[in-house]
Structure 1
Amino acid sequence: MADPHINVQQRDPPPAQLPLLNSNTNRHPNQSHDHKGSQETDLDKKLKRLENFLSVLGFSQSSVLGFVLSWSAFLLIGVLLPVVILELSNCPGCGKGQVKDFELVIVASQACVAAVSLLCLSHNLRKYGIRRFLFVDRYSGQMARFSHQYIQQIRGSVRLLVMWSLPCFILKTVREVIRILYVHHESWWLSTAICLALIVSWTYLSMISLSASLLFHLVCNLQVIHFEDYPKLMERESDILVLIEEHRRLCYHLTKISHRFRIYLILEFVVVTASLFVTLFQTTGYSGKITYINGGDFAASSIVQVVGIIICLHAATRISHRAQNTASLASRWHAVATCSSTDASQLRMSNSGGNLEASASLNSLHMNYSESDLESLDYLAMPTSAQLASYMSSYHKRQAFVLYLQTNPGGITIFGWTVDRTLITTIFFIELSLVTFVLGKTIVLGTS
């Protein structure tokens, strides 16, 4: 490059200017890029545990054997087991054909949501691996600085998964226990086995769908770390080209996240909305009395599905507004840098970075520019042409940088639509209205 200052930075780059993800194409995507020998950091251990948890749920399909085992377990535990139990079980007090009309529809909707999650997320994990999928390798020289924040975000996502799945699990368990007490089978052992089988199948499908939503939530939150670090880079970096290049990299990774998850998000919205509409048709078209015994699963499954959508929308909206807020921060930074400078007569050149700075002198001269005092202008030290040109160049660079950020806001997009407050408000109230009606039909009427 022509600028000698930039060449010095390239020969000895500081941590904030290191390039993104120097991936080795000869390595498998599941292998770590930052390991030194056999040493494992705390982040490596966290990622390994997360990968093992996802493998238990069937998201690890990097081999043919893993693919077969994953989908075989999904079909056996998530589909065949509950369908066979519901077909063979007898519920004389639930109404004629109630099991087929209600509970089989619930199993189908849950299986569709879980299948979408398993299909989309396993494809990305198989293609990129856990580290590249989460973008934790994007700064090969900054892992020590960001690893603690990465670990905190992973722990937060696990806590969020437990916080949302545990109440739904308790609701499902209470419903199945009440059903055992209400529906009489040949023996208590058979009733207990049926109860446990239905709970295991429901929990398996729910954990798959919620884990997929939490992975998207985790990916977005990890990018929030870098957007929150960007204002610090603006404070310590004076080269506008470095700031623009870093912002381009951040937006590039948001674009990659959008491309990887857009099919999953669209299918998730469509399947959940269709499932809720089918639930409404089932509950409103049923002529009998809907109770917690025959319709309680509608409440549990609807809550899980809507929670997954809320988690995804919250994560996408958060990272989108972090990206859009960067332009506001840059505008304030530009205004402070411009207004802190005094008039052109007090400008001086910085010895360290070659940037034009304002003089801190407080006893400035108050000149009277009347015709009788024109001679006094001879004693005023005027800036050189080089200083004025450098000052204007610095101002125009900052102005161009702010304009660039305003016209390139970034964020999570779905085929061009940015997931921001406007979109999330529309989707949230549609899903909330549907699930509120479902809860009213299954819980309020069931207890009246």
Structure 2
Amino acid sequence: MAMDDGRVALLAAKRRGFTRSASHASDELQSFRSWLRWMCVDQSNGWTASLSWFVFIIFTFVVPSFSHFYLACSDCDNRHARPYDSLVQLSLSGIATLSFISLSQFVRIYGLRRFLFFDKLCDESEIVRKGYTEHLHRSLKILSIFVVPCFAAESAYKIWWYTSGATAIPFLGNVIVSDSVACIMELCSWLYRTVVFFLVCVLFRLICCLQILRLQDFAQVFQVDSDVESVLREHLRIRRHLKIISHRYRAFITFALIIVTVSQFAALLDTTRKKADLSIFKSGELGLVSVSLLAGLMILLRSAARITHKAQGVTCLAAKWHVCATIDIFESPEADTETPTAGGVFGLPFEPPSSDFDDVGSEEDELDNTKIIPAYAYSTISFQKRQALVTYFENNTAGITVFGFMLDRSSLHTIAMIEMSLVLWLLGKTINEIS
């Protein structure tokens, strides 16, 4: 009878976990799915997938091509000329194509809920679940923070360009109607391509926020009496999820870095040539696109570096945990035992003054701070087990990788130095040609 009760309880627990992971109309992703449908990037069924691809082709290729070849106004006055329009259209269409194909592949293979790791939240603590849901709702606000200012500037430029009489191609029979439709279509095309790119970047940031919340929750094991096996299992699970994220996003990050780099160097080469005509009316749109692409790339790289830094902070925390427990054992009157006394660490001579804690403020990382860990939590873990765990952390670093290349702060510095070297080399070439 007891065995039957245990089996029923196990089935009920599995059913609760399945209900949590399954998609339904009122789950956490309801508003997010509605937003995806309004943006025509939802591919949950055949009809929405077909509509998504149709809108993608129209706004990514058809409208930009029509704008560049038929509405560029090659014979208009000097202020309305668009000498950098080809570079603008190629940059936006290239990054939008990469983003849309990546997003389509993510949703088609994994599904939105599984891709965002919502099916794994049933195994997390309540703090992680609530924090991740808040980050999901905040992600749309972050997306609008980056897109709305750029779209407002682009709208102002396009409205001025059409209302000031730059083009007069009555392809709909009436000049005013034709210009209005062309202006709206160009703005929709610009907004669509920019939003698709920022959407993939913000989703990557959202997934990284989940792993950061898990690492912060995982760090609490060093504050309680935990066994080494449970700590190791949880860290292995976090490392596995980080590898999954790295594997899914490595192609997108690599090609986004290439596209943005090529676009920026092409813009630099085009604007520093001898006969370049620079003004806010001609090169303003190119500068706006450059800012948008660089902002999206910074979201990717900063999110990857941040989560890598948090994962590496766990190693520092484990080493400090091991040192504090070991010193407390030897300072204890029972030095020949493995049971430390409570509060012994706080009497150590190397403890920083309390005023130092106040001066640090928010500049100090919560996983890598200078505060001493209380040693009363380590009574059941021997020195050998602690040493083995610290050695494992030191030799199994976790973080976001791109084809084996760890994206941490050092790698960002390396990328920045390489880019700066290429910029200086290109500027040297153009300056020599001008002189």
- Give me the TM-score of the superposition, normalised by structure 1: 0.74
Structure 1 unpaired stretches of 5+: 1-11, 25-30, 350-355, 363-389, 439-448
Q: Secondary structure at the match of 2:339?
A: strand
Which residue in 2 is equivalent to 1:199? 187
Whether contact under 8 Å (1:150, 1:222) holds in the other structure is: yes
Spell out, residue by residue over 1:15-72, the C-alpha distance to the aligned partner (whole angstroms, 9 max, x if none): xxx99xx997xxxxxx96267xx794xxx23x22223323443443344444332222
Q: Which residue of 2 aligns with 1:240?
A: 228
Alignment pair present for 1:293 and 2:281: yes
Shift of 1:290: 2.6
CA distance in 2, matches of 1:104, 1:309: 21
Give the corresponding residue for 2:240. Answer: 252
Alpha-carbon distance change, 360 to 301 in structure 1, aligned in 2, over 3 angstroms: closer
Does the residue aligned with 1:410 lie in a helix, a strand or coil?
A: coil
Residue 130 of structure 1: CA displacement?
A: 2.0
Distance in 2 (alpha carbons) for counterparts of 1:98 and 1:320: 46
Q: Find out whether 1:211 has 2:214 as its counterpart.
A: no
Counterparts of residues 160-171 of structure 1 (less than 5 Å): 160-171=142-153
Q: Are residues 336 and 285 of structure 1, via their aligned partners in 2, closer, same or farther at CA, if it must alter by over 3 Å?
A: same
CA contact 2:211–2:307 (8 Å) conserved in 1? yes
TM-superposed deviation, 1:278: 2.1
C-alpha separation between the residues in 2 aligned to 1:176 and 1:112?
A: 21
**CA RMSD, 1 decimal:** 3.5
Does structure 1 residue 138 correspond to structure 2 residue 120? yes
- The 1:164–1:361 alpha-carbon spacing in structure 2 relative to 1, beyond 3 Å, is closer
User: CA offsets per residue over residues 166-189 of structure 1, 9 Å max, x none?
Assistant: 111122112213323444444444
Distance 1:408 1:141, change over 3 A: closer
Conservation of the 8 A alpha-carbon contact between 1:82 and 1:107: yes
Structure 1 residues 359 and 84, CA gap change in structure 2 (3 angstroms):
closer
Deviation at 1:285, TM superposition (A): 4.0
Give the letter for the 1:405 counterpart: F
Find the counterpart in structure 1 of residue 75 from structure 2: 92
CA distance in 1, matches of 2:182, 2:137: 34
Question: Hey, what's the Cα distance between the residues in 1 that align with 2:257 and 2:201?
Answer: 12
Residue range with higher mean Cα deviation, 79-88 or 210-219: 79-88
Q: Answer whether contact 1:213 1:308 (CA < 8 A) is retained.
A: yes
* Count of matched residue positions in the alignment of Structure 1 and Structure 2: 375
Question: How far is 1:347 from its partner?
Answer: 6.2
* 1:80 counterpart = 2:62: yes
Change (3 A) 1:34 1:330: farther
Q: Quick one: distance in 1 between partners of 2:146 and 2:424?
A: 18
Change over 3 Å in CA distance of 1:313–1:361 after alignment to 2: closer
Matched, 1:225 2:216: no
1:278 alignment counterpart:
266
Instruction: Give me the identity figure in percent.
Output: 27
CA 32–112 in structure 1, closer or farther in 2 if over 3 Å, else same: farther
Change (3 A) 1:169 1:77: same
Partner of 1:341, secondary structure, is helix
Matched, 1:155 2:125: no
Residue 175 of structure 1 corresponds to which residue in structure 2? 157
Partner residue in 2 for 1:57: 39
- The letter for the 2-side match of 1:207 is V
Q: What is the alpha-carbon distance in structure 2 between the residues aligned to residue 135 and residue 125 of structure 1?
A: 12
- Pair 74,433 (structure 1): closer, same or farther in 2 beyond 3 Å: farther
When normalised by structure 2's length, the TM-score is: 0.76
Name which of 322, 328, 353 aligns with 1:334. 322
2-side partners of 1:281 and 1:423: how far apart? 26
Structure 1 residues 268 and 32: CA distance shift in structure 2, 3 A: farther
1:313 aligns with 2:301: yes
The answer to whether the 8 Å contact 1:347/1:359 transfers is no
Instruction: Indicate the larger mover: 287-296 or 245-254.
Output: 287-296
Match of 2:382 among 368, 376, 394: 394
CA contact (8 A) 1:94 1:294 kept: no
Higher mean C-alpha deviation, range 304-313 or range 123-132: 123-132
The equivalent of 1:413 in structure 2 is 401
Shift of 1:193: 2.8
Secondary structure at the counterpart of residue 98 of structure 2: helix
Equivalent residue of 1:60, what SS?
coil
Taking a change above 3 Å as real, the CA distance of residues 435 and 170 of structure 1, as seen in their structure-2 partners, is: farther
**Structure 2: segments with no counterpart, 5+ residues:** 1-8, 169-174, 345-377, 427-435
SS of the aligned residue for 2:84 comes to helix
Shift of 1:243: 0.5
Which whole-Å CA distance do the structure 2 matches of 1:435 and 1:167 have between them?
A: 27
Q: Which amino acid aligns with 1:206?
A: T
Summarize the Cα distance change of 1:61–1:431 in structure 2 as closer, same or farther, 3 Å threshold.
Answer: farther
Partner SS state of residue 358, structure 1: coil
Quote the offset at 1:329 in angstroms: 0.4
Question: Helix, strand or coil: the match of 1:346?
Answer: coil
Matches of 1:123 and 1:81, distance apart in 2: 24
Distance 2:34 2:125 in 1: 22
Counterpart contact for 2:319–2:390, Cα < 8 Å: yes
The answer to whether the 8 Å contact 2:59/2:189 transfers is: yes
Match of 1:269 among 249, 257, 263: 257
Cα distance in 1 between the residues matched to 2:343 and 2:307: 42
1:58/1:118 contact within 8 Å kept: no
Higher gyration radius (CA): 1
Report the 3-state secondary structure (helix = DSSP H, G, I; strand = E; otherwise coil) of the residue aligned with 2:135: helix
